[in-house]
Amino acid sequence: MPQAVVTAIAAQKGGTGKTALAGSLASQWGYAGYRTLLIDLDQQANLTYAFGVDPSRLDATVVDVLAPRNEVPAGDAVVPGVLGVGGLDLLPCDERAEALDTQLRSETMGVFKLKDALEPLLTEYDRVVMDCPPNVGELTVSALLVADEIVCPVKMGDSNALRGITRLTQTVEKLNRRGAQARFKSLVRVECDHAQLSYRLNHDALRRLARRLKLPVAKTELRARAAWRTAITQDVPLILLDDRSRSTRDAQSDVHRLARELWPRVDFPSPAEIKMQRRASSAPMRRAA
How distant, in Å, are the alpha carbons of 45, 135, 277 from that of 41? 7, 11, 29
CATH number at residue 161: 3.40.50.300
151: left (phi over 0), alpha (psi -120 to 50) or beta: beta
Given a contact cutoff of 8 angstroms between Cβ atoms, the answer to whether 51 and 204 are in contact is no
The 10s digit of each residue's pLDDT in 83-119 is 989 899 999 999 999 998 899 999 888 899 999 999 9
Residue 209 to residue 207: CA distance in whole angstroms: 6
* pTM assigned to the model: 0.94
Q: How many CA atoms lie within 13 A of 59 on its CB side?
A: 9
Given a contact cutoff of 8 angstroms between Cβ atoms, the answer to whether 47 and 134 are in contact is no
DSSP secondary structure string for all residues of 256-278: HHHHHHHSTTS-PPPHHHHHHHH
The 10s digit of each residue's pLDDT in 25-43 is 999 999 999 999 999 999 8
Cα 131 to its chain centre, rounded Å, is: 4
pLDDT of 167 > 60? The answer is yes
The 10s digit of each residue's pLDDT in 177-197 is 998 999 999 999 999 999 999
- The 8-class DSSP code of residue 8 comes to E
How many domains does the chain contain in total?
1
> For residue 288, what are the contacts with CB-CB under 8 A and spacing of at least 6?
none
Q: How many CA atoms lie within 13 A of 247 on its CB side?
A: 12
- Give residue 283's pLDDT band: very low, low, confident or very high (50, 70, 90): low
**CA-wise closest residue to 153 among 16, 247, 2:** 16
Domain around 159 = 5-288
Residue 246 to residue 266: CA distance in whole angstroms: 26
